[in-house]
Amino acid sequence: MEETCGCHIATGDLLRKEIKDKTELGLKATDFMNRGDLVPDDLIIEILNKKLESNECKKGSIFDGFPRTVEQAKKLDDLLSKKGQTIEKVINFEVNDEILIDRIAGRRIHESSGRSYHIHYNPPKKAGFDDITGEPLIQRKDDQLDTVKNRLENYHKLTKPVLNYYQGSGNLYNLNAQRPIDEVWKDIASQVLF
């Protein structure tokens, strides 16, 4: 995806890197993330701004897990318009809550690379270990059931309104993401990206 679209900016990954590097921003974000709450908008915009300035992101970017509030969506428009850029497409991955809980609670991560697996739907070759390095996989604290439920509540309250924000723009693409990964990917590649 990076080859075609510039850089992949996942705000969750950026935050986890700040936490790992023990930066001030990471420290401020930790409790929000562990509870499954959204990190305040000003911290997210700060981290995003830093990433957008990097050379790899000059061609364009895919934002993943961002914007998660209407305020972030507005700030993103401001930031892009200052660079003479606009949003080409917004992809909404539609999955009902029950399936989402099952997917997130079964997710396992290889911490240093970010490679992600699912215990049933995308299992590693050897249960509990990364395919490439053979290192152990972990479950993120915020992927545990209670935290996932809080994250979903926050999604309905704070993130869903972002869809209305983009609805009128004509570039919102609603994608049925309840299908197997390869079908979803084909849909993205054929109908959305190219």
Provide the binding-site residues for ligand AMP, judged by CB under 6 A.
11-12, 15, 32-33, 36-39, 44, 65-66, 68, 72, 142, 151
Q: CA 154, CA 144: separation in Å to the nearest integer?
A: 15
In terms of CB distance, is 2 or 64 closer to ligand AMP? 64
Q: Would you say 98 and 46 are in contact if contact means Cβ atoms under 8 Å apart?
A: no
In terms of CB distance, is 93 or 121 closer to ligand AMP? 93
Q: How far is the CB of 26 from ligand AMP (least distance, A)?
A: 11
Q: CA 100, CA 95: separation in Å to the nearest integer?
A: 6
In terms of CB distance, is 65 or 106 closer to ligand AMP? 65
User: What is the separation of C-alpha 87 from the centre of its chain, rounded to a whole number of angstroms?
Assistant: 17
Give 57-61's long-range contacts (Cβ < 8 A, gap of 24+).
Answer: 57/6, 57/7, 57/9, 58/6, 59/5, 59/6, 59/7, 60/5, 60/6, 60/7, 60/85, 61/5, 61/6, 61/7, 61/8, 61/9
Q: How far is the CB of 79 from ligand AMP (least distance, A)?
A: 13
Which residue is nearest to ligand AMP, using beta carbons?
A: 12
Q: How far is the CB of 65 from ligand AMP (least distance, A)?
A: 3
In terms of CB distance, is 96 or 190 closer to ligand AMP? 96
Q: How far is the CB of 194 from ligand AMP (least distance, A)?
A: 25
Q: How far is the CB of 44 from ligand AMP (least distance, A)?
A: 4
Q: Would you say 59 and 89 are in contact if contact means Cβ atoms under 8 Å apart?
A: no
Q: CA 118, CA 184: separation in Å to the nearest integer?
A: 16
